[in-house]
Amino acid sequence: MKIKFKDKVYESNESKSFLDLAKSVGIDLKDLIVAKVDGKLFDLSSEVPASKEVEFLDFSDPEGKRVFWHSSAHMLADAVRRLYPDVLLGIGPSIDEGFYYDFYNLKVGDNDLGKIEKEMEKIAKENNKFERIPLTKPEAEKKLVNEKFKLELLKDLQDDITFYKDGKFEDLCRGPHIISTGMVKAIKLLKVSGAYWKGDNKREAMTRIYGISFPSKGDLENYLKFLEEKKLHDHKKIGRDLELFEFLDISPGSPFILPKGAVIYSELEKLAREYDNKYDYKEVITPLIAKVDLWKISGHFDKYRENMFKVQPFESDEEFGLKPMNCPFHVLIFKSKTRSYRELPLRFADHGVLHRYELEGALDGLLRTRVFQQNDAHSFVTEDQIEDEIIYMLKELKEIYEIFDLKPIFIVATRPDKRIGEDELWDRAENALFSALRRVDYKYTIKEKDGAFYGPKIDVYVLDFTGRPESAYAVSTIQVDFNLARRFDAKYIGKDDREHIPVVIHRSILGTFGRFMGIILSNTKGELPLWLSPVQVKILPINDDNKVYATEVFNKLKENGIRVEIDDSNSTLDRKIRDSQLEKVPYTVVIGEKEEKGKTIAVRDRSGKTKYNVNLDEFIKDMKSKIEKRARV
């Protein structure tokens, strides 16, 4: 049998438990979290199934981390149950960073986390082994008689019902888990928040506790330093500090874009329009509301109604919806006249306002909102044009990503279990995506069953400031859809003078403008490139005597299309410079007696370097060149 651990490969004939197998080849057991065989994870105490290969995972592996954190969630539930015996248990999964557990009948706040944390540390020192306990459904029901939420979960389970026990604590769980609680050497509970049972705002309100854990105290110390750095990259804080946007309770999940934020937003729209025009997209403007019949035809109503806003006119029984997507409207435009194969590919772009009812717990600043605009587009193509059209879209994506120095990660999401359309159509759609990526030699990974209900897709992610793939942002998407035009009976006349159904390719490169804005703010800590900065130059007259010349400089910059402000307050020069730095202005122009006499300017860039005796016309020329080229400065 072949055994893998990190970069090493071993051979062994040991066939008892995974622990015995690891011992037989000399792997240090203190590093091991879980075993993997044929894509399935196993407790290390389990017997080794018949297989040709076993892989051992530790905390450095993403799957190992998830098992470690899920075990820590059990420890959290144990600690809370010890301190608050009347709580009812919900769910406790691992997440991208750490874990959480949902509790009912628990009234605690962030101030209580220290006490719960200490109880978890006590459980870790007890070094309780995680023991897998298989039960029949009647046995499980009896054990959970006082746990209504667990009983609800149990109803959906059939065979292979298991509990996990550590010490006296038991929880319904399929596992696997770490060997014992003693493997957890460092714990940090992060926050308390509210949640609804199963994400349904009509169900019970739960108390959710978030935490993270590590196999060493050093790992936790590094993580806490990372959290401090993360605060500097928090787009919500940056947005508040720079007065770019805000959120008000009157319209949850809907950003109020302030004047400076609107500059950034508009520049992103301008960029999208410029490239869509370059790549032959025809912009359309479609209605904000429509009768729900539209989405019933497209198939969105059955699959998407929970995320739609219903609009009911006064004194009318007709039911309308706020549009959550543009694609059905574009199909109506396509079929509004007789189309010929000579028109294809026919590309429609749309920046219309969209509304989706995202659950309150899913909202996240500009990254997840209920109202948004995106550089949405749909290409209507013949089947033999699909691959070339996808490559055409990838070319546009590459050009736009280079402007922001974004490194794309390509993921192909294949057919989900709940979908529309015939398997034969799905085969053709998936093959087209794979073939196009291979033709341009782009590496990709596959995410099984994660496609849209109407078609497979390429999702494009970009790295955040950490550079870690597991925390990358989803930005762009390209989706092949054989079903949408068919459902609307949209057709074109082919070379054979017969009617054919076009294939629709959904495409968005910047994603939503707000989300993209949030990503760029986070990655740059608000230090935006010159072309995207709301204020590109800040003029600081040293005293009142310099204000006339400062105003002349201001006017000349403004006449040349440069976004400029003047700080003619009575503050000291040091205070004015500090304010300009805090506002992340790319260039600060200082004007004193020397500059006024020489009709020059002193220019301080964002790094603190200052150039004196700068010719104003040369400065303007340089600025306009950088802005026009969208230079990354």
Are residue 388 and residue 276 in the same domain, yes or no? yes
The residue from 196, 230, 264 where one domain ends is 230
Are residue 399 and residue 319 in the same domain, yes or no? yes
Tens digits of residue pLDDT in 442-494? 999 998 888 888 889 999 999 988 887 877 899 999 999 988 999 999 999 99
Are residue 305 and residue 417 in the same domain, yes or no? yes
User: How many Cα atoms are found within 13 Å in the side-chain-facing hemisphere of 1?
Assistant: 21
Report how far residue 212's alpha carbon sits from residue 272's, in angstroms, rounded to the nearest whole number.
39
CATH number of the domain within which 83 lies: 3.30.980.10
The residue from 503, 524, 545 where one domain ends is 524
Report how far residue 327's alpha carbon sits from residue 191's, in angstroms, rounded to the nearest whole number.
40
Which one is catalytic: 260, 355, 370, 457?
457
Are residue 396 and residue 456 in the same domain, yes or no? yes
Are residue 126 and residue 209 in the same domain, yes or no? yes
Q: Quick check: is 457 catalytic?
A: yes
Pairing of strands 2-5, 53-57: parallel
pLDDT at 306: 84
Placement of tokens 């082919």 in the chain: 494
Which one is catalytic: 65, 150, 235, 378?
378
pLDDT at 465: 86
Q: Is residue 335 part of a domain?
A: yes
What phi and psi, each to the nearest 5 degrees, are found at residue 347? -115, 125
Long-range contacts of 302-307 (CB under 8 A, 24+ apart): 303/418, 303/453, 306/357, 307/356, 307/357, 307/358
Which one is catalytic: 347, 356, 415, 515?
356
Which one is catalytic: 143, 339, 370, 374?
374
Residues in the chain predicted with pLDDT less than 50, given as ranges, are none
CATH number of the domain within which 336 lies: 3.30.930.10
| Two structure tokens written together for 253 | 């999940």
pLDDT at 98: 94
Hey, is 394 helix, strand or coil? Answer: helix
pLDDT at 14: 67
Are residue 108 and residue 172 in the same domain, yes or no? yes
Burial 32-59 (b: 16+ CB within 10 A, else e): bbbbbbeeebbbbbbebeeeeebbbbbb
Q: Is residue 235 part of a domain?
A: no
The residue from 524, 557, 581 where one domain ends is 524
Q: Is residue 196 part of a domain?
A: yes
Q: Is residue 382 part of a domain?
A: yes
Question: Which range marks the domain in which residue 625 is found?
Answer: 530-629
Hey, is 6 helix, strand or coil? Answer: coil
> What burial class does residue 24 get, using C-beta atoms within 10 Å of its C-beta: 0-12 exposed, 13-18 middle, 19+ buried?
middle
Q: Quick check: is 378 catalytic?
A: yes
Which one is catalytic: 506, 563, 584, 604?
506
Which one is catalytic: 376, 459, 481, 567?
376
Q: Quick check: is 376 catalytic?
A: yes
Which one is catalytic: 58, 327, 487, 567?
327
User: How many Cα atoms are found within 13 Å in the side-chain-facing hemisphere of 323?
Assistant: 21
3-state DSSP helix/strand/coil % of the chain, to nearest 5 = 40, 25, 35
Q: Is residue 238 part of a domain?
A: no
Q: Is residue 206 part of a domain?
A: yes
Q: Nearest to residue 128, comparing CAs of 74, 88, 87, 173?
A: 74
Are residue 28 and residue 132 in the same domain, yes or no? no
Asked, as a colleague might, if the bond just before 176 is cis with ω within 30 of 0, I would say: yes
Are residue 445 and residue 403 in the same domain, yes or no? yes
Tens digits of residue pLDDT in 152-194? 999 988 778 999 999 999 999 999 999 999 999 999 999 999 9
Are residue 390 and residue 282 in the same domain, yes or no? yes
Are residue 489 and residue 547 in the same domain, yes or no? no
Are the C-beta atoms of residues 353 and 255 closer than 8 Å to each other?
no
Are residue 26 and residue 91 in the same domain, yes or no? no
DSSP state of 561: T
| Two structure tokens written together for 308 | 């739609």
Q: Is residue 27 part of a domain?
A: yes
Are residue 249 and residue 141 in the same domain, yes or no? no
Q: Quick check: is 356 catalytic?
A: yes
Q: Quick check: is 351 catalytic?
A: no
Three-state SS across 253-317?
A: CCCEECHHHHHHHHHHHHHHHHHHHHCCCEECCCCCEEECHHHHHHCHHHHHHHHCCEECCCCCC
Structure pTM? 0.83
Q: Is residue 616 part of a domain?
A: yes
Q: How many domains does the chain have?
A: 4
Burial 435-452 (b: 16+ CB within 10 A, else e): ebbeeeebebeeeeeebb
